[in-house]
Amino acid sequence: MIADDDEKWLAAATSAVKQNAFYMQRAIDSNNLKDALKFSAQMLGELRTSKLSPHKYYELYIRATDELRSLEMFFRDETARGCSIAELYELVQHAGNILPRLYLLCTIGSVYIKSKDVTAKDILKDLVEMCRAVQHPLRGLFLRSYLAQVTRDKLPSIGSELEGYRNMDALEFVLQNFTEMNKLWVRMQHQGPNRDKEKREKERNELRDLVGKNLHILGQLEGVDLVVYRDTVLPRILEQVVNCKDELAQCYLMDCIIQVFPDDFHLQTLDVLLGACPQLQPSVDIKTVLSGLMERLSNYAASSVEALPNFMQVDAFSKLDHAIGKVVEAQVDLSASASVTLYLFLLKFTLHVHSDRLDYVDQVLGSCVSQLSATGKLCDDKASKQIVAFLSAPLEKYKDVVTILKLTNYPRVMEYLDHDTNKAMAIIIIQSILKNDTRIATADEVDALFELIKGLIKDFDGLTDNDEIDEEDFQEEQNSVARLVHFLYNDDPEEMSKIIFRVRKHILTGGPKRLPLTIPPLVFSALKLIRRLRGGDENPFGDDTSTPQKILQLLTETVEVLSDVSASELALRLYLQCAQAANDCELETDAYEFFTKAYLLYEEEISDSKAQVTALRLIIGTLQRMRVFSVENRDILTHKATGYSTKLLKKPDQCRAVYECAHLYLAEEGENLKDGERVVVCLKKAQKIADAVQKWPVHPVVAVAWGLCLCMSNC
Amino acid sequence: MVLVLALGDLHVPHRAADLPPKFKSMLVPGKIQHIICTGNLCIKEIHDYLKTICPDLHIVRGEFDEDARYPETKTLTIGQFKLGLCHGHQVIPWGDLDSLAMLQRQLDVDILVTGHTHQFTAYKHEGGVVINPGSATGAYSSINQDVNPSFVLMDIDGLRVVVYVYELIDGEVKVDKIDFKKTSTSNSAP
Predicted confidence band of residue B37 (pLDDT cuts 50, 70, 90): very high
Q: Do A614 and B102 touch (CB under 8 A)?
A: no
Which residue in B has a C-alpha nearest to residue A584's C-alpha?
B142
Asked whether residue B68 carries a pLDDT value surpassing 90, the answer given is no
What is the signed CA dihedral for A203, A207, A208, A211, rounded to 10 degrees?
A: -140
Closest CA to A452 of A493, A409, A486, A482: A409
Asked whether residue A152 carries a pLDDT value surpassing 90, the answer given is no
| Cβ atoms of residues B90 and B72 within 8 Å | yes
Residues within 8 A of A (CB atoms), B 20-79 only: 43-45, 63-64
Compute the average pLDDT of residues A24-46: 90
Asked whether residue B111 carries a pLDDT value surpassing 60, the answer given is yes
Q: Do A621 and B106 touch (CB under 8 A)?
A: no
Please give the mean pLDDT across all residues of chain A: 86
Compute the average pLDDT of residues A616-639: 92
Q: Which of B16, B90, B102 sits opposite A486 (nearest CB)?
A: B16
Dist. CA A634–CA A625, nearest whole Å: 11
Predicted confidence band of residue B189 (pLDDT cuts 50, 70, 90): very low
Compute the average pLDDT of residues A652-666: 86
Q: Do A624 and B15 touch (CB under 8 A)?
A: no
Backbone angles phi, psi at A39, to 5 degrees: -70, -35
Q: pLDDT per residue over A250-282, tens digit each?
A: 999 999 999 999 998 999 999 999 988 888 888
Q: Do A704 and B102 touch (CB under 8 A)?
A: yes
Dist. CA A665–CA B97, nearest whole Å: 19
The percent of residues above 90 in pLDDT, for chain A, comes to 49
Distances (CA, A) of A571 to A555, A606, A607, A634: 11, 11, 15, 22
Let me know if residue A583 belongs to a domain: no
| Most A CBs within 10 Å, among B40, B48, B92, B144, to test the A interface | B92
Number of domains in chain A: 1
- In the sheet that B121-125 helps form, which strands lie side by side, from edge to edge? B73-78, B81-86, B111-114, B128-132, B121-125
Which residue in B has a C-alpha nearest to residue A516's C-alpha?
B14
On the 0-12 / 13-18 / 19+ scale of CB atoms within 10 A, A672 is exposed
What pLDDT is stored for residue A122 in this prediction? 82
Q: Do B142 and A487 touch (CB under 8 A)?
A: no
Compute the average pLDDT of residues A116-142: 86
How large is the C-alpha radius of gyration of chain B? 15
Q: Does B102 touch chain A (CB under 8 A)?
A: yes
Beta bridge partners of B181: B160
Q: Does B87 touch chain A (CB under 8 A)?
A: no
| Most A CBs within 10 Å, among B10, B44, B63, to test the A interface | B63
Compute the average pLDDT of residues A291-297: 90
pTM: 0.82
On the 0-12 / 13-18 / 19+ scale of CB atoms within 10 A, B181 is exposed
What pLDDT is stored for residue A307 in this prediction? 81
Let me know if residue A77 belongs to a domain: yes
Dist. CA A336–CA A378, nearest whole Å: 8
Q: Does A344 touch chain B (CB under 8 A)?
A: no
Dist. CA A101–CA A103, nearest whole Å: 6
Compute the average pLDDT of residues B168-178: 94
Backbone angles phi, psi at B151, to 5 degrees: -150, 170
The percent of residues above 70 in pLDDT, for chain A, comes to 90
What pLDDT is stored for residue A83 in this prediction? 80
On the 0-12 / 13-18 / 19+ scale of CB atoms within 10 A, A700 is middle
Higher pLDDT, A409 or A169: A409
Asked whether residue A420 carries a pLDDT value surpassing 90, the answer given is no
Which residue in A has a C-alpha nearest to residue B103's C-alpha?
A704
Asked whether residue A662 carries a pLDDT value surpassing 80, the answer given is yes
What is the maximal distance between C-alpha atoms in chain B?
A: 45
Predicted confidence band of residue A164 (pLDDT cuts 50, 70, 90): low
What pLDDT is stored for residue B81 in this prediction? 93
Backbone angles phi, psi at A331, to 5 degrees: -95, 90
What does chain A come to in residues? 715
What pLDDT is stored for residue B140 in this prediction? 95
What pLDDT is stored for residue B190 in this prediction? 42
Q: Do A482 and B106 touch (CB under 8 A)?
A: no
What pLDDT is stored for residue A614 in this prediction? 94
Q: pLDDT per residue over A48-64, tens digit each?
A: 988 888 888 999 999 99
Q: Do A707 and B102 touch (CB under 8 A)?
A: yes
Dist. CA B109–CA B190, nearest whole Å: 11
Beta bridge partners of B34: B4
| Cβ atoms of residues B103 and B112 within 8 Å | yes
Using DSSP bridges, classify how beta strands B2-7 and B111-114 pair: parallel, antiparallel or unpaired.
unpaired
Asked whether residue A533 carries a pLDDT value surpassing 80, the answer given is yes
Q: Do A617 and B143 touch (CB under 8 A)?
A: no
Predicted confidence band of residue A483 (pLDDT cuts 50, 70, 90): very high
Predicted confidence band of residue A715 (pLDDT cuts 50, 70, 90): very low
Asked whether residue A1 carries a pLDDT value surpassing 70, the answer given is no
Q: Do B93 and A487 touch (CB under 8 A)?
A: no
Predicted confidence band of residue A680 (pLDDT cuts 50, 70, 90): confident
Q: Does B15 touch chain A (CB under 8 A)?
A: yes
What pLDDT is stored for residue A378 in this prediction? 64
Dist. CA A383–CA A380, nearest whole Å: 5
What pLDDT is stored for residue A702 in this prediction? 55
Asked whether residue B42 carries a pLDDT value surpassing 70, the answer given is yes
| Cβ atoms of residues A75 and A108 within 8 Å | yes
Least-confidence region, from A493-507, A662-676, B60-74: A662-676
Closest CA to A175 of A232, A121, A111, A136: A232
What is the maximal distance between C-alpha atoms in chain A?
A: 137
Q: At a CB cut-off of 8 Å and minimum separation 6, what does B161 contact?
A: B81, B111, B129, B154, B155, B179, B180, B181, B182
The percent of residues above 70 in pLDDT, for chain B, comes to 96
Asked whether residue A520 carries a pLDDT value surpassing 50, the answer given is yes
Dist. CA B151–CA B129, nearest whole Å: 16
Q: Do B92 and A483 touch (CB under 8 A)?
A: no
Compute the average pLDDT of residues B156-164: 93
Q: Does A708 touch chain B (CB under 8 A)?
A: yes
Asked whether residue A102 carries a pLDDT value surpassing 50, the answer given is yes
Let me know if residue A522 belongs to a domain: no
Dist. CA A655–CA A480, nearest whole Å: 42
Compute the average pLDDT of residues A386-414: 92
Dist. CA A499–CA A613, nearest whole Å: 37
Higher pLDDT, A87 or B47: B47
Compute the average pLDDT of residues A392-417: 92
Q: Do A711 and B98 touch (CB under 8 A)?
A: yes
Higher pLDDT, A682 or B181: B181
Least-confidence region, from A10-14, A166-170, A640-644, A703-707: A703-707
Helix (H) or strand (E) holding A36: helix A33-45
What pLDDT is stored for residue B187 in this prediction? 45
Smallest Cα distance from A255 to chain B, Å: 47
Q: Do B190 and A711 touch (CB under 8 A)?
A: no
Question: Which domain, by its residues, includes A33?
Answer: 1-118
On the 0-12 / 13-18 / 19+ scale of CB atoms within 10 A, A537 is exposed
Using DSSP bridges, classify how beta strands B34-37 and B57-59 pair: parallel, antiparallel or unpaired.
parallel
Cis bond leading into B42, ω under 30°? yes
What pLDDT is stored for residue B188 in this prediction? 41
Least-confidence region, from A137-146, A279-288, A519-528, A682-691: A682-691
Q: Which of A483, A614, A618 sits opposite B13 (nearest CB)?
A: A483
Higher pLDDT, B152 or A124: B152
| Cβ atoms of residues B116 and B94 within 8 Å | yes
Compute the average pLDDT of residues A497-518: 93
Q: Do B94 and A624 touch (CB under 8 A)?
A: yes
Compute the average pLDDT of residues B153-169: 94
Looking at residue A97, the DSSP 8-state letter turns out to be: S
Let me know if residue A417 belongs to a domain: no
3-state secondary structure A242-273: HHCCCHHHHHHHHHHHHHHCCHHHHHHCHHHH
Asked whether residue A287 carries a pLDDT value surpassing 90, the answer given is no
Predicted confidence band of residue B149 (pLDDT cuts 50, 70, 90): very high
The percent of residues above 90 in pLDDT, for chain B, comes to 81
Dist. CA A66–CA A575, nearest whole Å: 92
Let me know if residue A20 belongs to a domain: yes
Let me know if residue A4 belongs to a domain: yes
Q: At a CB cut-off of 8 Å and minimum separation 6, what does A245 contact?
A: A281
What pLDDT is stored for residue A81 in this prediction? 82
Let me know if residue A661 belongs to a domain: no
What pLDDT is stored for residue A21 in this prediction? 92
Asked whether residue B121 carries a pLDDT value surpassing 90, the answer given is yes
Let me know if residue A54 belongs to a domain: yes
Predicted confidence band of residue A468 (pLDDT cuts 50, 70, 90): low
Helix (H) or strand (E) holding A549: helix A548-564
What pLDDT is stored for residue A310 in this prediction? 83
| Cβ atoms of residues B94 and B69 within 8 Å | no
Compute the average pLDDT of residues A139-158: 88
Compute the average pLDDT of residues A465-479: 80
Q: A208-227: string of b/e by CB count within 10 Å (b at 16+)?
A: bebbbbbbebbbebebbeee
Asked whether residue A515 carries a pLDDT value surpassing 80, the answer given is yes
Smallest Cα distance from A677 to chain B, Å: 19
What pLDDT is stored for residue A353 in this prediction? 86
Residues within 8 A of B (CB atoms), A 473-492 only: 475-476, 479, 482-487
